[in-house]
């Protein structure tokens, strides 16, 4: 279960970056909503503990139970339909033994672990139609349970993760280009249908978010209100920002022009209070963490290790881009948290658990190639 590792081989650089970005998040959360700052601090302590413990375990031990992981994940998502807590017209949380969490966040990590082992087990016939179809059929039920909560943003994120995992597993380029030739026209047609007034594909509020992004001037006081104020907040921070916990009356955050700024729009708080420099620091650290995951994948001892690292890089890279793109008006409002920065204990702990696997893969990769 445990292996002997050398301290010199431990990826302290990655650990320092993870703690640094989490501390920035805690400071920004405290400025946005001081009532939840202590919870995020506790989440950081528990998350780092779990990460360090998992980094010392051989990750292959966990992957042996990949079917248990799959059905455990499916069971959690299914429970949301029966005992889930509703908030803001969505049923995404469950409470078990007094602990309230969001299974759609843990699903990202659990699906990565499942498919990492599945891909390894079926690598000899990975590109066959039968195998790829079976992988898609395994993915659809869990994706649908998240989509119907409704959680369109996380369901889109899961599709991105799934596609990247297929690529990391060795998907044939002919299949990739063939799929793109089909998916792109379908996507264009689907988007045109979604924009129709009587469409039934997505919820009305989801359609309004897309319309507010396409026509911001028409929705500036309704669905586009938060994004518009987010851009104002980021711009008002200028180079160095107004300072954390400032009392400026003109502050967008202090004026409560952005609801729940500690979650989806935490980057607006960072932009306003830490300025362009603070925003760049956050982006650079997140980018470096994602790159480090890719570098670990290149030296992973096996394909399942590489797939896990690429999966974690995908979550951090794509989710960071989507969150910041929403805050700056480059994308419609999605509701995705900024990794390691936004308030949310389920997201934070899930990410640290995933990074624990990355650290162990790096340790084993060093042993193999040294």
Least confident of 105-119, 240-254, 280-294: 240-254
* Dist CA 165 CA 178 (whole Å): 17
Stretch 184-201: mean pLDDT, rounded? 80
**Alpha-carbon Rg of the chain, whole angstroms?**
21
Whether the CB-CB separation of 364 and 56 falls below 8 Å is answered with: no
| Extended strands (E) in 3-103 | 85-87, 90-96, 99-101
- State the pLDDT confidence band at 237, using cuts at 50, 70 and 90: confident
The model's pTM is 0.92
Where on the phi/psi map is residue 88: left (φ > 0), alpha (ψ -120 to 50), or beta? left
Residue that wins the pLDDT comparison between 185 and 26: 26
| DSSP single-letter state for residue 254 | T
- At 334 the pLDDT is 80
Of all residues in the chain, what percent carry a pLDDT higher than 70? 96
Stretch 120-133: mean pLDDT, rounded? 93
Using one digit for the tens of pLDDT, what is the confidence trace for 64-120? 999 999 999 999 999 988 888 777 667 888 988 778 889 999 999 999 999 999 999
**Mean pLDDT, rounded, for 211-236:** 79
What pLDDT is attached to residue 289?
97
3-state secondary structure at position 256: coil
Outline where DSSP puts E strands in 29-170: 85-87, 90-96, 99-101
Inform me whether the pLDDT recorded for 219 exceeds 80: no
pLDDT(248) > 80: no
Q: At what angle do helices 129-147 and 152-168 cross, to 10 degrees?
A: 160
- Residue 2 has a pLDDT of 56
pLDDT above 90: residue 51: yes
> Which one has a higher pLDDT value, 250 or 138?
138
Answer yes or no: are the C-beta atoms of 328 and 264 closer than 8 Å: no
Confidence grade of residue 202 (pLDDT, cut at 50, 70, 90): confident
pLDDT of residue 144: 94
Over residues 235-250, the mean pLDDT reads 82
Map tokens 């955050």 to a residue.
253
Band of residue 250 on the pLDDT scale cut at 50, 70, 90:
low
Give the pLDDT mean for 309-313: 97
- Band (pLDDT 50/70/90 cuts) for residue 28 is very high
Nearest of 315, 343, 310 to residue 156 by alpha carbon:
315
Helical spans, DSSP H, in 122-265: 129-147, 152-168, 173-194, 204-214, 225-236
CB 154 within 8 A of CB 142: no
Q: Higher model confidence: residue 135 or residue 221?
A: 135
Phi and psi, residue 328, nearest 5°: -100, 5
CA atoms within 13 A on the CB side of 209: 17
| Residue 1 banded pLDDT, cuts 50, 70, 90 | low
The answer to whether 92 touches 344, Cβ cutoff 8 Å, is no
3-state secondary structure of 1: coil
Distance from C-alpha of 311 to C-alpha of 327, rounded to nearest angstrom: 24
């Amino acid at each position: 279960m445990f292996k002997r590792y050398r301290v010199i081989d431990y990826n302290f650089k990655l650990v320092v970056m993870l703690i640094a970005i989490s501390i920035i998040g805690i400071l920004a959360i405290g400025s946005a909503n001081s009532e939840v700052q202590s919870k995020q601090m506790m989440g950081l302590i528990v998350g780092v503990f779990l990460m360090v413990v998992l980094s010392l375990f051989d990750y292959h031990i966990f992957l042996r139970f990949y079917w248990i992981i799959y059905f455990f994940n499916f069971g959690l998502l299914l429970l949301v339909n029966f005992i889930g807590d509703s908030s803001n017209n969505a049923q995404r949380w469950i409470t078990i033994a007094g602990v309230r969490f969001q299974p759609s966040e843990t699903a990202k990590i659990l699906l990565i672990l499942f498919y990492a082992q599945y891909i390894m087990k079926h690598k000899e016939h990975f590109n066959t139609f039968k195998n790829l179809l079976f992988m898609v059929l395994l993915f659809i039920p869990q994706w649908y349970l998240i989509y119907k909560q409704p959680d369109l943003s996380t369901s889109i994120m899961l599709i991105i993760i799934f596609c990247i995992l297929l690529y990391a597993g060795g998907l044939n380029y002919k299949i990739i280009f063939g799929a793109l030739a089909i998916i792109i026209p379908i996507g264009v047609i689907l988007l045109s249908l979604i924009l129709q007034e009587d469409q039934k594909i997505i919820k009305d509020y989801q359609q309004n978010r897309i319309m507010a992004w396409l026509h911001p001037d028409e929705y500036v006081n309704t669905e586009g209100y938060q994004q518009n104020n987010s851009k104002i907040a980021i711009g008002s921070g200028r180079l160095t920002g107004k300072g954390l916990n400032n009392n400026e009356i003109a502050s967008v955050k202090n004026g409560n022009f952005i609801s729940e700024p500690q979650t989806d729009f935490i980057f607006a708080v960072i932009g306003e209070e830490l300025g362009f420099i603070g925003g760049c620091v956050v982006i650079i650290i997140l980018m470096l963490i994602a790159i480090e995951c890719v570098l670990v994948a290149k030296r992973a001892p096996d394909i399942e290790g590489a797939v896990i690292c690429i999966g974690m890089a995908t979550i951090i890279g794509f989710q960071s881009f989507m969150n910041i793109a929403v805050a700056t008006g480059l994308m419609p409002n999605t509701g995705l948290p900024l990794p390691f920065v936004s308030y949310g204990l389920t997201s934070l702990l899930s990410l640290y658990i995933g990074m624990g696997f990355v650290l162990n893969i790096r340790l084993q990769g060093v042993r193999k190639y040294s």
